[in-house]
């Protein structure tokens, strides 16, 4: 059975990706940063679908922990067929007032963490000459967003990394893609004001916020045999917000 590692799978989009991949037949390593209960819930949902699951704690912004996460996933479940770079945080603030700590925290987790995890995973994929890596970027990595210079820079950086890696490893049968969600209803967007929410809805042709399942379906497509000629692509899952 194919095996996937999903980082940031204790809740939100990552939890939905883990469940959707399990529905597609993947055994799933559920990566998490601190929410052990959430990760256990996701693992239980994967198990309930008849697939093997393991919850693994690791701070993806630490290169040693990221490498240990990949090694533990492979020890527990077997060689990784798919890796989903989903762990992420926000530390929003206006650019001129943004602290170095807030800049670094977001770049270290969202971008450098994605580099650490995918670098550790791609080595085995190169040996096996197969694999799929999907980065969960964001529409703001394509459009920018006032108050999110750190986050938009990290998400744009992920897209540059994905396209470069796709060029390096395509000849070895490894595909590397990104999804760019718009606003999705999770803990990350729970603090939007009514005014912000109304503004977003007014600029979204499909007239609603996204669900974690909307994003998970696009990720599952990219990991599936339906996408064997798709690499270096960025699928926007944003209800048309970024048009
Ligand atoms: P969320 O509900 O806040 O969940 C974030 C996940 O990332 C949690 O599982 C968290 O683990 C994990 N995480 C955070 N820092 C970590 C670290 N240093 N090491 C390991 N894991 C870490 O967020 P979400 O909305 O589901 O977002 C998931 C991804 O989608 C993020 O990359 C986000 O930027 C992206 N995205 C979200 C939206 C949106 O509107 N929600 C839109 C576009 C893109 P613990 O809780 O266990 O610490």
Give the pLDDT mean for 201-225. 97
Predicted confidence at residue 59, as pLDDT, reads: 98
Closest residue by CA, ligand 1 atom 12: 8
Predicted confidence at residue 225, as pLDDT, reads: 97
CATH of domain 3-234: 3.40.50.720
| DSSP state letter for 96 | G
Task: State which of 30, 31, 33 you would mutate to test the pocket of ligand 1, scoring each by most atoms of that ligand within 8 A of its C-beta.
Answer: 33
pLDDT (tens digit per residue) in 15-58: 999 999 999 999 999 999 999 999 999 999 999 999 999 999 99
Give the pLDDT mean for 92-110. 98
Predicted confidence at residue 179, as pLDDT, reads: 98
151 CA: nearest ligand 1 atom = 34
Give the pLDDT mean for 222-228. 98
Using alpha carbons, list the distances in angstroms from residue 78 to 2, 52, 118.
9, 11, 16
pTM over 0.85: yes
Residue 216 has pLDDT above 90, yes or no: yes
Give the list of residues 6+ apart from residue 198 with CB closer than 8 angstroms, or none.
Answer: none
Task: State which of 5, 6, 7, 8 you would mutate to test the pocket of ligand 1, scoring each by most atoms of that ligand within 8 A of its C-beta.
Answer: 8
Predicted confidence at residue 243, as pLDDT, reads: 85
Structure-model confidence comparison of residues 164 and 190, the more confident one: 164
Using alpha carbons, list the distances in angstroms from residue 188 to 8, 60, 69, 82, 91.
12, 18, 24, 24, 10
Does residue 162 sit in helix, strand or coil? helix
Q: Give yes or no: 183 in active site.
A: no
Give the pLDDT mean for 1-9. 98
Q: Supply angle C-alpha 88, 91, 93, rounded to 5.
A: 145
Sign for the CA dihedral angle at 96, 102, 105, 106 comes to negative
Residues with CB under 6 A from ligand 1: 7-14, 32-35, 59-61, 86-89, 109-110, 113, 136, 138, 181, 183-184, 186-189
Residue 161 has which token pair?
A: 């990394």
Q: How far apart (Å, rounded) are the C-alpha atoms in residues 7 and 134?
A: 11
From ligand 1's centre to the CA of 86, what distance in Å?
6
From ligand 1's centre to the CA of 171, what distance in Å?
31
Give the pLDDT mean for 163-191. 96
Task: Please report, for the chain, the start and end positions of each structural domain, with discontinuous segments joined by +.
Answer: 3-234
Residue 226 has pLDDT above 90, yes or no: yes
From ligand 1's centre to the CA of 68, what distance in Å?
20
Long-range contacts: 163-169, Cβ < 8 Å, 24+?
163/232, 165/118, 165/122, 165/133, 166/231, 166/232, 167/232, 169/122, 169/125, 169/126
Predicted confidence at residue 207, as pLDDT, reads: 95
Closest residue by CA, ligand 1 atom 31: 88
Give the pLDDT mean for 80-107. 98
Q: How far apart (Å, rounded) are the C-alpha atoms in residues 221 and 237?
A: 12
């Amino acid at each position: 059975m194919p095996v996937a590692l999903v980082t940031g799978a204790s809740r939100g989009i990552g939890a939905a990706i883990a469940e959707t991949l399990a529905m597609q037949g993947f055994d799933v390593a559920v990566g998490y940063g601190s929410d052990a209960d959430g990760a256990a819930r996701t693992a239980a949902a994967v198990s309930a679908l008849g697939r093997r699951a393991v919850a693994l704690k690791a701070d993806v912004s630490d290169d040693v922990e990221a490498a240990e996460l990949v090694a533990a996933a492979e020890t527990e479940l077997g060689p990784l067929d798919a890796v989903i770079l989903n762990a992420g945080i926000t530390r929003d603030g206006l650019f001129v007032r943004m602290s170095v700590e807030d800049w670094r925290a977001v770049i270290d987790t969202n971008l450098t963490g994605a580099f650490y995890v995918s670098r550790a995973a791609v080595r085995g994929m190169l040996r096996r000459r197969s694999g799929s890596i999907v980065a969960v970027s964001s529409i703001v990595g394509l459009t920018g967003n006032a108050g999110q210079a750190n986050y938009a820079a990290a998400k744009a950086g992920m897209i540059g990394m994905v396209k470069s890696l796709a060029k390096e490893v395509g000849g070895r049968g490894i595909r590397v893609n990104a999804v760019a969600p718009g606003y999705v209803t999770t803990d990350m967007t729970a603090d939007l004001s009514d005014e912000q929410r109304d503004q977003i809805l007014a600029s979204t042709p499909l007239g609603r916020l996204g669900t974690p399942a909307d994003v998970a379906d696009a990720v599952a497509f990219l990991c599936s045999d339906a996408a064997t000629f798709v690499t270096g692509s960025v699928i926007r899952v944003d209800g048309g917000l970024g048009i």
